[in-house]
């Protein structure tokens, strides 16, 4: 008898609620709200000072499973053993490097050196049963090797060409903001895309702005179909800002409702 496919998990990115996650008391209240608006899982990021094991307990008490975390690159460089210990205390099998300073890598050789560093981190984490990911923004779609206005290869392409263990935590909203086709990128990263970030974007006062999933211009049915085919299991909803709703809880709720209507 064939094994049943694992049910996809829709999670909230706690960075969206960072202003409400500053103390353990705030965290407990916020996590209960996260569960009430329809999320049974969350990714850890943007939280105030708290022992990792205590945060895990608060999340589980609220009915919100931790499914991953964001940890800055300096933490990996300073003490990767502590990063591993924190992941184990959180009870997560995924950890993503969430952001880089674009100015820190000026040449292609600088980037290749960084990619080797990433792969070294990934090997050490893999020995502990933890998957290292990279979370993109927009600058990774800049290209090296343009000749006479043609061609070139994006930084993100180069990153996954020069690594093997590193997974992508592809941010669909930033892919679109970078001028690229999210379906093509999902297909390109199939097998290395256990988790994705979902955010939408639209226009207000002639300026691009983040929107709840399904409230902007991204063709989500096509994206979700591609993610399913690529083996994605975790769909993480994030909004950097909530300039339309002015309420991150409402934005997360709208995203969850819209995704449910899309069958997720």
Instruction: Locate the domains of the chain by residue range.
Output: 9-261
pLDDT (mean) for 9-20: 98
pLDDT (mean) for 241-263: 97
Rounded Cα–Cα distance for residues 105 and 113 (Å): 9
Would you place residue 4 in the very low, low, confident or very high pLDDT band (cuts 50, 70, 90)?
very low
Rounded Cα–Cα distance for residues 133 and 166 (Å): 6
The overall average pLDDT reported for the chain is 96
DSSP β-bridge partners for residue 207: 204
Residues with Cβ within 8 Å of residue 197, at least 6 apart in sequence: 13, 135, 169, 170, 171, 172, 173, 174, 236, 237, 238
Q: Are 200 and 216 in contact (CB under 8 A)?
A: yes
Pairing of the two strands 200-204 and 195-198: unpaired
pLDDT in tens, 69-105: 999 999 999 999 999 999 999 999 999 999 998 889 9
Percent of the chain with pLDDT over 70: 98
Task: Write down the CATH number for the domain with range 9-261.
Answer: 3.20.20.150
Rounded Cα–Cα distance for residues 252 and 256 (Å): 6
| pLDDT, position 3 | 39
| pLDDT, position 102 | 84
pLDDT (mean) for 166-194: 98
| pLDDT, position 5 | 54
Percent of the chain with pLDDT over 90: 96
Output the CA torsion 29→34→38→39 (10° steps): -130
The count of residues in the chain is 264
Q: Are 211 and 201 in contact (CB under 8 A)?
A: yes
Residue that has been written with the tokens 């502990």 in this structure: 128
pLDDT in tens, 221-235: 999 999 999 999 999
| pLDDT, position 6 | 77
pLDDT in tens, 101-132: 888 999 999 999 999 999 999 999 999 999 99
């Amino acid at each position: 008898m064939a094994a049943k496919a694992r049910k996809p998990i829709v999670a909230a990115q706690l960075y969206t609620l960072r202003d409400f996650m500053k103390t353990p008391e705030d965290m407990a209240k916020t996590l209960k709200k996260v569960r009430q608006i329809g999320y049974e899982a969350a990714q850890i990021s943007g939280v105030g000072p708290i022992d990792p094991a205590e945060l895990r307990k608060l999340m589980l008490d609220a009915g919100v499973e931790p499914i991953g975390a964001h940890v800055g690159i300096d933490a990996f460089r300073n003490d990767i053993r502590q990063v591993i210990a924190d992941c184990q205390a959180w009870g997560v099998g995924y950890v993503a490097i969430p952001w880089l300073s674009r100015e820190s890598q000026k040449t292609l050789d600088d980037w290749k050196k960084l990619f080797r560093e990433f792969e070294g981190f990934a090997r050490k984490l893999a020995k502990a049963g933890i998957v290292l990911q990279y979370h993109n923004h927009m600058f990774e779609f800049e290209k090296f090797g343009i000749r006479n206005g043609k061609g070139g290869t994006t930084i993100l392409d180069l990153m996954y060409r020069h690594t093997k263990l590193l997974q992508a935590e592809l941010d669909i909203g930033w892919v679109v903001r970078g001028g690229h086709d999210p379906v093509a990128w999902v297909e390109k990263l199939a097998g290395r895309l256990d988790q994705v970030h979902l955010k939408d974007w639209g226009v207000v006062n002639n300026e691009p702005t983040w929107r709840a999933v399904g409230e902007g211009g991204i063709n989500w049915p096509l994206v979700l179909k591609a993610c399913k085919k690529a083996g994605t299991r975790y769909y993480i909803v994030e909004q950097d800002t909530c300039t339309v709703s002015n309420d991150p809880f409402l934005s997360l709720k709208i995203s969850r409702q819209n995704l449910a209507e899309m069958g997720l």
